[in-house]
Every structure is written in C-alpha cells, then in structure tokens.
Amino acid sequence: METRNPGRSEGSEPDKASEVKEVRLYVDTFKIDVKTGLYDGLQRNMKQRHIQMIALAGTLGTGLFLGSGKAIAHAGPAGALLAYMHVGTICYCMLMSLGEMMCFMPISGGYIHFAERFIDPAMGFAVGWLQWYSGVVGLPMEIIGTALIIGFWDTEPGGTGMSNAHFGGYLTLLLCLCILVNCLGVRWFGETEFVFHPGAFAPYVVPGNRGKFLGWFQTLLQAAISYNGMENLAMTAAEVENPRHSLAKAVRRVFYRILIFYVLGVFIVGMLVPSDDPNLLQSTGTAATSPFVLAMTRGGVKVLPSVINAGVLSSGFSASNSGLYASSRQIYGLALRGQAPKIFAKTTKEGLPMVALLFSSIWILLSYMALSEGAVTALNWLTNLTSTMGFCTWGIISLTYIRFYHGLKAQGIDRSKFVYWSRFQPYLAYWAFLWSLLIILFNGWTVFIKGEWNVSDFIVAYVNLPIFAMLYGAYKIVRKSKVVPASRMDFHSNVPPSEMVDFVEPQSNTVWGNIWAWLF
C-alpha cells in the first residue's frame, strides 16, 4: 500500500514520522466499526498452528470420546459409522461455505456478523445471542464431562464411583484453569490448545429395517454433538496473523481430520466393541463407558485404557478452553455492532475483551448443578440443549453463504480471485442447509411414537426454535430491520485489504520443516 503525505511536495525528502503516523491513522480508522463507531481492539497475536488446533480442539472433547458409545449402542457399528460420515459431509460443506466468507472478511464477529450483513441485522442478533447462550451452556457440559473422566482413576472402595467432595474439587480446579488460560491472552490460549490437544446395524425403538433407519437417524444428533464447535474457527479471524492464508489452510485440512479422528475412530471402536455391550449405556458417571476405553479393556491391555483416558482428559479440557474463547468473542462481536451492551466491547491494551470474557465465565458455575441433580442427568440435558443449537447455527451459516454468493453475483464480484473458494458452490451450502433443517425439525421424533411422549424430551428437542423466533421478531419490531437486498450488500466496510494483514510465509528447506508445515 502506498502512503502519501498531502502536505509534502513531490521533490522533498520523505518524512518517516509522518508516514508512520498516516499508516497508523489509517489502521485506526479502518478498525472503527462503520455502524457504531466503536473501536475493535482485538490484536492479531495468534499463529496459524494455533487455529489449526482450535478448529479441532473445540470438537474433540467429551462429545466424541464419551458420546460415541451411545451412538454405537443405538445404531450399531455400521449405523454409527454412516451417521458420523454423513454429519461429516454436512459439517465440511458448512465449513467450506464459512471458510470462503471469513477468508474474504477476516473480521470480528465471524458468522454472526456475516448473517447481519448478508441476510438481516435481526438474523445476526438472534443467531449471535442464541449461539452465545448455547456456548455458555455447553461449557458446563465439557467441565462436567472432563471431571467425570478424572473419576476413571478416582473411585470409592467397592467401585461405587468418586465421592461428591472429590467431584466438586475437580470441577473447581478445571473451571479455574479454564478461566485462567483465557485471561492470559490469545497467544497463551493458542499455545495451551496446541499442547493439550492430543450385526452391523442395530434397530432402535421399532424392529426391522425401519428400526435400523431410525437408529441411524437418531445417531445423527449424537454425531452432531461431536462435531459441534468447528464453526468457532471463524471467531479467530480478527486475532490470527496472516488471516486469509491461515484460515484457508485450516479449512482445507479439516477434511483429513474429520476422516481420521471421527470416521476412522468410530470405525475402529465399532469393530472392537459390539453394540449390545451393556457398558455403553451404563450410567456409571465415569469414562469407563467410553467405547475407546472399552475397546482397550476388551483387548486385555491393562495400561492402554489409562493412556486413552489421559488423552480424553486433555481433549475435554481443551474443548472447554475453546468454548469459553468462542463465547467471549461472540458477545464481544455483538457489542461491537450495537447488538449487546457497549461494555462488552471494551478490551485491555493487549487486545483481550476482559469484560466479555468474565461475563461468559460466570456461567461455568452451572457445572456445580451436577453435584445435586446427578452428573449423568445434568450432562444429558446440557448435551441435548447444545446439540440442537449446533444444527441451527450450521443451517444459518449455510443460508448466509447462499445470500453471500448471490450478492457477489449481483454486484459483479469475481469469486475466483479469492484466496479461498470452491467451484462446487452454492450446492455445498444447499446440502448443509437442507440437512440441518431436516434434523432440526425431526430431532425430537421419538416423543411422537405411541407411548413414548415425554414433556422434558420435547422441550429439550425444540426449545431453541421459539427462543430464536422471539429474538428475531423482537429485534425486527424494535429496530425495524429489513432483509438486505443482494444489490446493496456491503462487501467493503471494515474489511482489511491484503496489504494490511497478509504476507507470504517463508518456505522451509528441511524435510521435517515441510512435514510440520503440512500438519500444522
């Protein structure tokens, strides 16, 4: 970018101080939100390898390692494998759609801000607050699940599980560590994520082929719990260095990680642990019911279950960190654009949104509800509440991309010049949107089976829909917002030009350096 001092003649010597001042003034002006005038104080201190782990660490938590056992029990090993593969396609199509938008616009707020720009400000408001609520409710789920994992080694005499006193102590330790890591700033948070991240079918409800199909469909929701959190990659867009290239790399490599960690993982444990193993559905309150641990136990290897459990423990803690990070940036992004109290837009001089972080941290205290109501009941409730919201978010991201795609087309902007784009769009976005919608509408189908009606299950399955409708409708009534026409979509405001934030990364000259670059 060329910077010129209008007060200096063409023949005079450059005034370096003036040039630096002008560049800084340009940057400061650029980071002032055009809608609210609030300054975006986040800083690009996160490295590319950090967001690689955040994209994965937000999902490789208790949902996969503990919840996959329920999937195998309900649908059988083949049904669970197909369910994880199918949800993997939905997730990957959603990520490709999100990746194109965030590489084009690496700004605060991520998909929440995209929904506001390309659909309707009311949509951004509704999905932002509902996703924040889902995130802070999901935090206790991960903390409780991680504490249960510790219980694998801490059981009372007679194998009755750990005591409430010990369980409460583990909860306190984990939530304090989670808050501390996030308060240290994005560089330390990123390093922590990098270090800590380590019959074929069964009928369900009814017999026969129909029951096998229902078992597979029911398992889609359990699989979604495992994948939930990958979309939080967009929340790092305003804090990662070299954002367009770093984010593009992260999205491209997600496919291989889905294939290895999810599909291959479920395939292996599905072969080693039969779906009728009674341990899969036991309410022991420990990680002993994890199919990964059961697989090692059935193989007669006494040491490996503890090793696997240690890996599960680190992944659960990492997922908690990632969830708190995303929740704080979500409410920060809302505040930056006038859709949350302005106090949440305040940052420290190091670029940490401390107020938003502390407010999001308060909700981790819900973890203690497990002490009075039972860990398993609390975990199941929190799991179900967050899983349905995950599909809502995926559907809205996909719908946002469809609008984004047609907006670019209406304004004559060539997508092929983007750092990251797919020639298969918008069909990938349509696939993710339609399947997300179907699963949202039918995720509570079991309560409509004769004799299976349960008010609690019905509320858990569909409570997010009326909450979303109320948030969306209330914002439209109060703010009188309208759907943004494709010809008037804003593709320029607050979008950093490449010369401001992007650079060419140096290539490694060693074999190990190239392997490291490929992996991370």
CA distance 213 to 75: 8
DSSP, residue by residue, 410-472: HTT--GGGSSS--TTTTHHHHHHHHHHHHHHHHTTGGGGSTT---HHHHHHHHTHHHHHHHHH
Q: What is the CATH number of the domain that holds 214?
A: 1.20.1740.10
What is the pLDDT at residue 69? 66
| Token couple for 340 | 């949350």
Its domain, for residue 270, covers 35-480
**Cα–Cα distance for residue pair 359/7, rounded to 1 Å:** 47
- The reply to whether 472 falls in a domain is yes
In a domain, 518, yes or no: no
Q: What is the pLDDT of residue 94?
A: 92
User: For residue 159, is it within any domain?
Assistant: yes
Q: Is residue 254 assigned to a domain?
A: yes
Q: Are 121 and 481 in contact (CB under 8 A)?
A: yes
> CA-CA distance, 504 to 401, in Å (whole number)?
28
Residue 20 forms part of a structural domain: no
Q: How many domains does the chain have?
A: 1
Q: Which pLDDT score, from 0 to 100, does residue 395 have?
A: 92
DSSP state of 484: P
Tell whether 3 is covered by a domain.
no
If you search the block for the tokens 């009075």, which residue do you land on? 372
Distance CA 184, CA 429 (A): 37
The pLDDT score that the predictor gives to residue 22 is 44
pLDDT in tens, the chain (520 residues): 333 333 333 444 444 444 434 444 444 565 676 666 676 667 666 666 666 666 565 455 555 666 666 667 666 777 778 888 888 888 889 989 998 998 888 888 888 989 999 999 999 999 999 888 888 877 887 788 778 778 777 766 555 566 777 888 888 888 888 888 787 765 544 444 444 444 343 434 444 555 556 666 666 776 776 777 778 777 777 777 777 777 778 787 776 776 777 777 777 777 767 666 666 655 544 556 667 777 667 666 666 667 767 777 777 777 778 788 888 888 988 998 889 998 998 888 878 888 999 999 888 887 887 776 555 565 566 656 666 777 888 999 999 999 999 999 999 998 888 888 888 989 999 999 999 898 888 877 777 776 778 787 787 778 888 888 999 999 999 998 889 999 999 888 877 766 666 555 666 666 665 565 555 5
**Does residue 196 sit within a domain?**
yes
Q: Would 5 be classed as within a structural domain?
A: no
